[in-house]
Amino acid sequence: MVEFEAQRRDATARTGTLRFEQTALLTPAILWYASERISPPPFADFYLSQEEGRYPRLGHAGRYFFPLSRRGSTIPPTLVYPAALPDGFHQMAAAWNQEQADEVQVVSASAPDRIAPQATLCVLANARELFAHPRIFVDAITRMREVVGYQRALYTPGLGLPEHLAVLAYCTVDVMDSLSLIEHARRGQFLSVEGSTGAEELPEVPCFCPACQRQERSFSWLLSHNCHAAAAELRLVRNAVVRQELRNLVETRAAGNPHLASIVRLMDNQHYDFQEKRYPVTGGPIEASPYTLTRPDVERFRQRVLDRYGRPSSARILLLLPCSARKPYSFSPSHRRFREVVQACGNPGVVHEVMVTSPLGLVPRELEMVYPAAHYDISVTGEWSRDEQVMLCALLHRYLQDNRYDLVIQHLPPGIAGFLDLDAVSTCRDHPTEPESLERLASVLKAESGAYPPVTNHARRLDILHGVLRYQFGRAEPLLEGCTVRGRYPGYKIMAGGHQVGMLVEERGLVSLTLEGGRRLVATGRYWVTIDDFVPRGSVFAVGVRDADPAIRAGDEVVVLHGTEVRAVGVATMNGEEMAESRRGEAVATRHHC
C-alpha cells in the first residue's frame, strides 16, 4: 500500500511522508538506485532497484514490449513515447498506462487527465526531456500538478542533481532519484550546488564529506561524493520548507544558473495563480534579490493593497515616507522621529503614513506588521532599478486613483522623489532625518492638518483595524459593527457589548478571532470551512472537512461551520482547495470551539 500525507507547506512546496507498506519516506525525497554494480550510499533510506534484499525499494515491472513480474512496490509496465511526438501517441500510451496502474502510475504531461483513481505516486514520463526546455517543463509541471492534485506525490525520474533539487521542490516535485548522480560520476563530474566540474580540473577537492576525506580519485569516490552532495542539499531543502525560507534558497540557486533562472521567471510571469494559492499568507524572512520583485507573496501583497485595502476614512493628507532597515518600521529610529513629528502636528488623525519601498511598493502604516511587510530585508543603496521604478510608479498611480486625498506630501530622498511624477509637496532636502527636512515636514503638517476637524484616538484606532480587516478578509464592516477598541497598539482588542470579537496580534500583524468574531465572519461569506457533525476540540483534520472557501490560504483565519452553526475558529494549515480534496493531514488548527 502506498500512501502520501503532506505535513508542512512553504511557497509552492511541501514536506510530507510517503509510505510504502511499513516504510515511511520523508519528502522531498531521493530514491537511491541500487544494482549488482552500483552500491547505494550507506545513508540511503529507500532504494530504486530490481534487486530483492532486506531494504525497502521501488522496482519496475518493465516496458510495454518487455513486461516483468510485479513484486512488492513497483512501477507498472509502461508505454512511453518521446515528448516531442504528436499528442495522439501520448493519448494512446496514457490510456494503456492507466489500465496498468495500481498505486503507482506513469503519467504523461501530454495527456494529464489519464490518471487512475487509486494512483498515489505519479511518475512523470519524459521528465528529463521536459526539464531540458524551461518553458515546456514549467507548462507541463503546472498542468500536471493541477490534475494530480494535492493528495498524490509527483516523481520526476532521471532528475536529482544537487543544483536542481530546490527548484524541483519549488515546482511541486516530491520525489527524485540518483540516476543523474551516477551518470555524472561515470563521466568524471564532481557535483555541487554550483553545478558540475570535471574532477581532473580540481587541484584541491572543495569538500569535506566522508568520501572526499579519503583523498582518493576514482568512480566510487565521485559517486559517493555526488550522493553526499545531493543528500545534503535535500536536507537543506526540507529545512527551508519547515523554516519557510524555500523561496530564498531557490533565488540563490537561480542566481548562478541561467537554466534555473528561466524556470523561476516563467513560474512567476506565467503561473502566478498556480503559485499564489499555494503560498501561505504568513512566512519567514525574505532576503530580497532581483527575483523577489515578482515572487507571488510579494505580488499578492501589492494586489491586496490595491483591491482590498482603502485609505482610512479620517485621512485627508497622504504622507509618503521611505522605508527603514528595521522592521516593523515603527520600531526604527528614523520612523520614531517621523512619528514624533506627525503626533506633534496637532491633528495626527488626518495624516495617513504610507511607506515607499521595494519590493513591496506601498506599505500603509496599518499594515506594517503584516507578512511580508515586516519580514523582508533588502540592500539599500539609494538606487532603484528600472523595474522597481516602473512597479512603484504604476502602483502609486493606481492607488491614488482609487484613494483620494486633499494633499500629498512626499518626505522622500531625491533618489526616489526624482522619478515619481506626483503633484505633491516635497519636504525632504537631502536626507529625510536631517533637522532641516524634519522641520519643514513639521511646518507643513501643522499648517495643513489644522484645517480639518480633530480626529479622536478611538476613531483612528477603528480606522487602523478597518484597514487590517479589509486586507485580511476583504470586508471589515460585519466584524466592526457596533464595536469599540481597547488596549494599546499593537495589541488592540475589538469589543462588542462586553464580548471580545478579536485581537490584533503583533506576531502576525493580523486579527485573531473569537467565536463571536467567527459568527461575524460568516456574514462576509468568506473564509469558511464546513465539517461533519462533530465538535473540533483540537485540530480539524481534512478527513472531517466537507467543503472550504477556495479563497483560503494556509495561515488564514477561518471559521469552522457545521451547517450554519459556528463550531470553531482557528488558523488554516492548508489552502481551501486542498482541504476540500484531501483526506489526510491537519486542515485547521483551532483556537476556540463551542
pLDDT in tens, 343-384: 999 999 999 999 999 999 999 999 999 999 999 998 877 789
- Per-residue pLDDT tens over the stretch 161-195: 999 999 999 999 999 999 999 999 999 999 999 99
Mean pLDDT for 499-519 is 95
On the question of pLDDT at 70 being above 90, the answer is no
Nearest to 218 by CA among 245, 234, 200: 200
The topology under which CATH files domain 491-593 is 2.30.130
**Class of domain 309-449 as given by CATH:** alpha beta
Q: What is the CATH number of domain 2-272?
A: 3.20.20.105
The band of 463, judged by pLDDT with boundaries at 50, 70 and 90, is: very high
Looking at residue 490, what is its pLDDT? 87
CA atoms within 13 A on the CB side of 99: 7
Q: What's the pLDDT at 431?
A: 93
Q: Is residue 421 within 8 Å of residue 393, measured between CB atoms?
A: yes
Is residue 249 within a helix (H) or strand (E), and if so which, with residue range?
helix 246-255
What cell does 204 get? 584541491
User: 72: pLDDT confidence band, cut at 50, 70 and 90?
Assistant: low
Give tens-digit pLDDT for 398-421.
999 999 999 999 999 999 999 998
Question: What band does 5 get if pLDDT is binned at 50, 70 and 90?
Answer: very high
Q: In the predicted model, is pLDDT for residue 49 greater than 90?
A: no
Rounded mean pLDDT, 104-129: 94
Tell me how many degrees the CA angle 209-213-216 measures, rounded to the nearest 5. 120
d(CA 19, CA 498): 50
The pLDDT > 70 percentage for the chain reads 99
Evaluate if residue 42 carries a pLDDT over 80.
yes
Residue 498 clears pLDDT 80, i.e. is over it: yes
Q: Given the DSSP bridges, would you call strands 104-107 and 121-124 parallel, antiparallel or unpaired?
A: parallel
For residue 98 the three cell numbers come to 492507466
In the predicted model, what is the mean pLDDT of the chain? 94
Spatial neighbors of 527 by CB under 8 A, at least 6 apart, are 473, 521, 549, 551, 552, 556, 557, 558, 559
Over the stretch 248-281, which tens digit does the pLDDT of each residue have?
Answer: 999 999 999 999 999 999 999 999 999 999 999 9
Q: Collapsing DSSP states into helix, strand and coil, what is residue 337?
A: helix
Comma-separated ranges of CATH 3.40.50.10630 domains in the chain: 309-449
pLDDT at residue 22 tops 90: no
pLDDT at residue 67 in the model: 74
How is residue 271 written as a grid cell?
503561473
Q: Is the pLDDT of residue 60 over 90?
A: no
Order of strands, sheet of 317-322, starting from the edge strand that comes earlier in the sequence:
361-364, 351-357, 317-322, 407-410, 425-426
Helices marked H in 369-434: 386-402, 414-417
> What is the model's pLDDT at position 83?
92
Q: Over 90: is that where the pLDDT of 461 sits?
A: yes
Q: In this structure, which amino acid lies at residue 454?
A: P
Where does CATH 3.20.20.105 sit in the chain?
A: 2-272
Position 297 scores a pLDDT of 98
Residues of the chain with CATH 2.30.130.10: 491-593
Which of these, 98, 121, 118, 119, lies nearest to 108 by C-alpha position? 98
pLDDT band at 55 (very low <50, low <70, confident <90, very high): confident
pLDDT at 383: 85
- Going by DSSP bridges, is the β-strand pair 361-364/351-357 parallel, antiparallel, or unpaired? antiparallel
Instruction: Please give the grid coordinates belonging to residue 507.
Output: 506576531
- The rounded distance, in Å, linking the Cα atoms of 538 and 287 is 35
